[in-house]
Structure 1
Amino acid sequence: MLKFYFNGAPNPNKVALFLEESGLPFEPVPVDTRKGDQFKPEFLKVNPNGKVPAIDDDGVFVFDSNAILLYLAEKTGKFLPPATPKNRAQMLSWLMFVASGIGPYSGQAVHFKHFAPKDLEYAHDRYQFEAHRHYGILNDHLAGSKYMVGDTYTIVDMAFWGWARMVPFVLGDDALTKYPNVKRLLDEVSARPAAARAIALKDKFTFKTEMDDEARNIMFRHLKTKAA
Structure 2
Amino acid sequence: MYTAYVADTPNGKKITIALEELGLDYQLRLVDLDAGEQHAPAFVRLSPNHKIPVLLDERSGQSLFESCAILVHLADAAGKALPAQGPARDLVLQWLFLQAASAGPMLGQLWWFRHAAPEPNPVALERYTRETHRIYGVIERRLAESRHIGGDGLTIADLAFYPWLATHEELDIDLDAYPAVADWLRRVGERPAVQRGMLRTREAAHV
Higher Cα Rg, which structure? 1
Match of 2:66 in 1: 64
Match of 1:175 in 2: 174
Cα distance change, pair 204–74 in 1 and its aligned pair in 2 (3 A): same
User: C-alpha distance in 1, partners of 2:190/2:165?
Assistant: 14
Which ranges of structure 1 fall in alignment gaps of 5 or more residues? Answer: 209-228
Question: Amino acid of the residue matched to residue 7 of structure 2?
Answer: N
User: C-alpha distance in 2, partners of 1:147/1:163?
Assistant: 15
User: C-alpha distance in 2, partners of 1:150/1:28?
Assistant: 30
What is the CA distance between 1:204 and its match in structure 2? 4.0
Q: Deviations over 1:131-189 (max 9, x none)?
A: 1101110001110101112221111110110201111112x1x5212111111111111
Given the alignment of the two structures, is residue 13 of structure 1 paired with residue 10 of structure 2, yes or no? no
Match of 1:139 in 2: 140
SS of 1:27's equivalent?
strand
Question: Amino acid of the residue matched to residue 137 of structure 2?
Answer: G
User: C-alpha distance in 2, partners of 1:25/1:119?
Assistant: 44
Cα distance change, pair 119–30 in 1 and its aligned pair in 2 (3 A): closer
User: C-alpha distance in 2, partners of 1:205/1:125?
Assistant: 34
Question: Amino acid of the residue matched to residue 68 of structure 1?
Answer: I
Equivalent residues in 2 for 1:24-173, closer than 5 Å? 24-58=24-58, 59-81=61-83, 83=84, 85-170=86-171, 172=172
Cα distance change, pair 56–161 in 1 and its aligned pair in 2 (3 A): same
Query: Runs of at least 4 residues of structure 1 off by over 4 A?
Result: none
Contact 1:32 1:207 (C-alpha < 8 Å) held by counterparts: no
What is the CA distance between 1:207 and its match in structure 2? 4.7
* TM-score, scaled to structure 1: 0.85
SS of 1:70's equivalent?
helix
Q: Which moved more, 1:145-154 or 1:103-112?
A: 145-154
Q: Deviations over 1:8-59 (max 9, x none)?
A: 1101111101101112111101111111111111111111111111111132
What is the CA distance between 1:124 and its match in structure 2? 1.2
Equivalent residues in 2 for 1:177-216, closer than 5 Å? 177-207=176-206
Contact 2:3 2:56 (C-alpha < 8 Å) held by counterparts: yes
Which ranges of structure 2 fall in alignment gaps of 5 or more residues? Answer: none
Q: Deviations over 1:82-117 (max 9, x none)?
A: x55221221111011101010000000111112224
RMSD: 1.6
Q: Percent identity?
A: 37
